[in-house]
A and B are shown apart, each in its own frame.
Chain A
Amino acid sequence: MPQNPYILKGHADRLAKWLVPNLSAIHLVAVFIALLLIGLLLVPVAQVMIVAFQDASTGAATLQNFIDFFQTSLFRESFWNSFYVSAMSVVVATAIALPLAYITTRFHFSGSILIQSLGFIPLIMPPFVGAVAMQLIFGRNGTINLIIREKFGFDIPFMNGLNGVILVQSIHYFPFILINLSASLRNIDRSMEEAAQNLGSHGLRLFRRIVFPLAMPGYIAGAALVFIKVFDDLGTPLLLNVNNMLAPQAFLRISSIGISDPMGYVISVILVIFSILSLWASFLFMRGKDYTTVQKGGGGMAKRILKTREKFLSYGVVIFILLLVLSPHIGLLLLSFGTIWSYAPLPDGYTLQNYVTMWESSKTFITNTILYASIAATLDVIVGTAIAYIVLRTGIFGRKGLDYLATAALAIPGVVLGIGYLRTFHNLDVPFTNEPMASWWVIIALALMIRRLPYALRACTAALQQVSISLEEAAESLGATKRRTIQKIVIPLMAGGILAGFVTSFATAAVELSATIMLVSSNNDAPLAYGIYLFMQTPSGRGAGAALGIVAVIVVAIGTIASQVIIERNKKIKSTGDSH
């Protein structure tokens, strides 16, 4: 009941404020994002996961399925295997990413641009294509083993069982660590390093005690992503035919013909819970530590010029690592130009025919992919930046919930999301047409958006964590509104992180398959990865599929470089503008 009707009559604008207390623009944004996540993530996934809590024969609510899970030795073993593979992948991925990040950010090294552009490429390969190419190079009878067997008479089991999964996953996902770690290293305040040097610290000790700890937000963000991603990844273990891990177990049980075993859904629930727990652990680790730095003009740490010997060493390390991480692409390139490649170190002959075959039937796949991935990545960075800001800068009730919910998307196997979308949207019609929403192409873009949101969110959060709140306070105390502060101060300072988020989301969305394969309802709407999958299902289509894979890599690489150029140009315009 209004207490003073007189005032209300005269001041209509106050009425709105009284009716919706505290609902500033930022609150509205938070509510909107919450609705978006509930509608596009929670509801569809719940539609599928509810099976885990039902008695398979009666449909009554029960927790018996979870008791069964822990009583089954195969599942316990799978859980342990998944954990082991994820942890080892983080270790191997760190071993790959750390030298690259360190060399590019600490030294004047002419190969830096090469690393920055090539180091990103491994992410942009559909997982099954990567595994196919890796088999050709590192497999039991791949190029390397055929050569060393002939020369030295022994084999190296690179791709055997869990080893293979760890190798493929580390090579595929190390860019998460590289990108986030490099961004963090670049954002470190030079004065910190100088202070340490003044106090006599240098070399490895300086790195171990000052530089690396300061880069922690980026490293932890990247490592947590790698861990969760590997834990939930389905494509790689399946392609290497490793079944005794959790995600493949879930998939095999959900997608077997005619079987409705609830254990698949139970495993999905456990995957989600475990991923959220690991994320929470990474938050706990970071809690109570302040990583922000005030100085922004200086542009990161001091760079040293390498001595000749060091330069050779650096080039050696960098080239070795790049050869390793690009081996799937080298394999794919050979496959795309090769005629027949069977039990031989290299293809029997070379041809352009694969590209001709591919081009005749794949143009729509390419344009669709660009459209979907652009929509998904653009929405991702917008939503990601908003969530990061809400979590770190406001006291809105349930803000952590937004973060957890968005991040939980990481843990949802693509198949589960795909089935959930079919269940949720099939009975809704697209406005103005009579098509069911589930077969509308926009749903594919939205599914990609949800699947890749966690990447953008982590990148944006890490970027905002390094922006000191005192810069915003300074702007506000000079009279800028909240909105203007966000526009003019926060977002420009986060630009690097936002770009990293956009690129990661775009690139990985462009090659996503597991959710889209459920949702594609017409070949005209199909993205690239689906096209590669189609080709790769036939003996005669391997070369053409590889050619399409190469096109995917090129498309994404162009996207990446273009966005980098745009940001650089903006920076230049801004800095010249500032000096006037």
Chain B
Amino acid sequence: MKHTIYASIATLALTASGAMADEKITVITSFPDSMTGPIEAAFETAHPEFDLEILNKKTSAGVKYIQEIAGANTADIFWASAPDAFEVLKNDNLLADVSVTSEGIPELIGSYPLNDPDGFYYGFAGAGYGIMWNERYLAANNLQPAKEWAELAQPEYHGHVGMSAPSRSGTTHLTVETLLQGEGWDNGWAKWKRIAGNFSTVTERSFGVPDGVNTGNFGLGIVIDFFGFSSKASGFPVDFAYPTITALVPANVAVVAEAPNSEGAVMFIEYLLTPEGQAVLLNPAIMRLPINPATYVNAPEGFPNPFKDSTIGAAVEFDVAKSGSRYNLVNSMFDVMITYRLDDLRDAVGAIQAAEALHADGSNTKATALIAEAWALIDANPIDEAKSLDADFAGIFTKKRKKVTDKVGERQAEVEQRWDAMVVANYASAKELANQAAGM
């Protein structure tokens, strides 16, 4: 026992003295080792006076971590994909307003502003959302890859699609919001629910989707592009395509407020934006879209270039303010209508698809009417777009306590229970109607 204690003290002393050798920059990131590793190596070669200390946490856990340690902050950099996570930190005054100098970086990627207009966080790479599929799985099930969101709703893909929940993954949230903005609130949700009716599963982590496609647990997944590219580069029999309606958004980096090594943190961000830093993004294990157009000269053949190919991410003018104002509300709606009621939704949509197949010619008008009624029940939304943008209503889901006297009318649990009761009843009647139609 005593030996253990002595050994521990010795270990502690060693770690403590070792850490003082270089100037440390502590980075909180959701990016995997395979991405941070090459960038860390490149940065430390260029700036040997710094020692990058990478701390890998899921985006949501990283945000929580920075919030919890704010009292005596030890983190210098927050580095992650989802702009929303940065918005949350910025609103909590946990990001530092720093000035970063760079050259040759444009203002926009696709139609999305690259940097935070207030200067709290900076884009360093681009990413778009799309569909990834497993070639072996599709061949075994006689399926063609779906290349547009709408195709994922077709009956042949029933039970073959996977996606993460927007409340779990900031990047998935952007996919959901992009479709809602691109197709309109009601059409967008209807499309999501019809696609979700084909879901095999809603994964808990955003990486769960490429993982599921890679192993062949399900055949198609809705993922961010680099998951598709890097899986393919690792040798999995998978491929990836951008649908027409997609948003290109930046992956971001920011200096944490009251960072112990603010100077080093700025150095790191500036390095990321240099041509050398940008070139590392083309490493086969990383495969993110550089934001310096000049870097694409060295890109492998077939690698998409959003600065040349204007079809990528051009169809949607992404409205950041709109997305931010209803962020939690959209997450909650997705969970209530899809994540938590996936079995009900899948059964109902499956039943409708079966009924449609039986009455494909449309000659039985009664059955066709029943089917239309069933779809209407699936498509029905608990609230309309105006309500989603009503600041008071959306406030129920954020619960920022400002003053003790501030009173929110309803509680999130009440609202969710009401929505839940509605969708459960709707899905059940939709299934019943479809079964009736099938029996005709």
Contacts and interface: CB of A to CB of B under 8 A. Distances in A.
Contacts of A436: 69, 72, 74
A343 B167 contact: no
15 contacts: A135-B217, A255-B58, A258-B63, A261-B397, A263-B413, A342-B238, A423-B68, A426-B68, A427-B72, A442-B8, A442-B12, A520-B55, A534-B32, A537-B33, A538-B35
A342 B136 contact: yes
B234 A540 contact: yes
Given A136-B215, A139-B217, A540-B285, A72 B397 contact: no
Interface stretch (B104-112, B245-253, B379-387, B404-412): B404-412
Given A135-B217, A161-B343, A257-B59, A521 B74 contact: yes
A82 B401 CA distance: 33
Nearest to B11: A371
Interface of A: 56-60, 64-65, 68-69, 71-74, 132, 135-136, 139-141, 161, 238-239, 241, 243-244, 248, 252, 255-261, 263, 339-344, 361, 371, 374-375, 378, 419, 422-423, 426-427, 433, 435-436, 438-439, 441-442, 517-518, 520-525, 534-542
A73 B140 contact: no
B68 A523 contact: no
Contacts, number: 219
Nearest to B85: A257
Report whether over half of chain A's contact residues are helix, strand or loop; otherwise say mixed: helix
Given A256-B331, A258-B398, A517-B57, A56 B411 contact: yes
Interface of B: 1, 4, 8, 11-12, 15-16, 19, 26, 32-35, 53-61, 63-65, 68-69, 71-72, 74, 82, 84-85, 88, 134, 136-137, 140, 167-168, 170, 200-204, 207-208, 210-211, 214-218, 227, 230-231, 233-238, 285, 327-328, 331-332, 335-336, 339-340, 343, 397-399, 401, 404-408, 411-414, 416-417, 420-421, 424
A30 to B, nearest CB: 21
B242 to A, nearest CB: 19
Contacts of A521: 55, 74
Contacts of B57: 517
Contact of B216 (A343, A423, A439, A541): A343
A68 B411 contact: yes
Contacts of B328: 256, 258-259
Contacts of A426: 68-69, 71-72
B413 A243 contact: no
Contact of A422 (B12, B53, B68, B82): B68
B82 A539 contact: no
Given A58-B406, A343-B134, A525-B15, 9 more contacts: A56-B401, A57-B406, A74-B417, A135-B215, A241-B203, A256-B167, A257-B167, A419-B64, A523-B56
B413 A72 contact: yes
Contact of B235 (A255, A260, A339, A371): A339
Contacts of B12: 441-442
B216 A59 contact: no
A310 B204 CA distance: 47
B34 A541 contact: yes
Contact of A241 (B202, B210, B216, B237): B202
Nearest to B136: A343
Contact of B4 (A71, A342, A344, A374): A374
Contacts of A536: 211
Contacts of B54: 523
Nearest to B404: A58
